[in-house]
Amino acid sequence: MSGTETATQQIDQGAQEVTPPPSAESNPRADYAQHIAELRAEAEAGNAKKQWELGELYAWGGGVTQDQAQALKWWTRAAAQGDPWAHVCLGSAYLYGDGVDASDALAAVFYRVAAKAGDPLAQCCLGDLYREGRGVPQDSRQAEVWYRRAAAQGRGPMGPKR
């Protein structure tokens, strides 16, 4: 499969189309550099999924130098287009102070957007914030509402159903 083809990658909440890394044929570094260049071009052209993906690469140092500021930049662009996974990433960044000043209140804002869009991980995270009273008033009933929504999709505070 070439670096320009797409594949489906399974992630907890479902499948998302992502560009696979190139094959390890002739020159894997050159192939991967081409993959990154194509991904960046699509992200710069406004593709929200590719913006989220590029943010992930920067967050973890996948084929690029790890750079949390760049990760935040790309997640913010994707979130501005409504990408729920980008909202989850930004929520986690604010919750843990990863590249930004920690803010439970901002984490709750980002998680809520993704949770309302149906993202089960965000629903669990928002439930945790309500249970702990972090960034939102402590409210066990609201926590239960969000946990139940996530559980209806096969995910709960302890992870996916087995």
Task: Give residue limits of the domains in the chain.
Answer: 1-65, 82-162
β-strand partners of 9: 16
Q: What is the pLDDT of residue 12?
A: 38
Q: What is the pLDDT of residue 115?
A: 97
Q: What is the pLDDT of residue 155?
A: 80
Q: What is the pLDDT of residue 29?
A: 63
Q: What is the pLDDT of residue 105?
A: 98
Q: What is the pLDDT of residue 154?
A: 87
Residues of the chain with pLDDT under 70: 1-30, 156-162
Look up the CATH architecture of domain 82-162.
Alpha Horseshoe (1.25)
Is this prediction's pTM over 0.85?
no
Model pLDDT for residues 91-132, shown as the tens digit of each residue: 999 999 999 999 999 999 999 999 999 999 999 999 999 999
Q: With 0-12 CB in 10 A as exposed, 13-18 as middle and 19+ as buried, what is 141?
A: exposed
Query: How many alpha carbons fall within 13 Å on the CB side of residue 70?
Result: 17
Q: Go through 28-52 and write b for each residue having 16 or more CB atoms within 10 A of its CB, e for each that does not.
A: eeebbeebbeebbebbeeebbbbbb
Tokens of 27: 């020159």
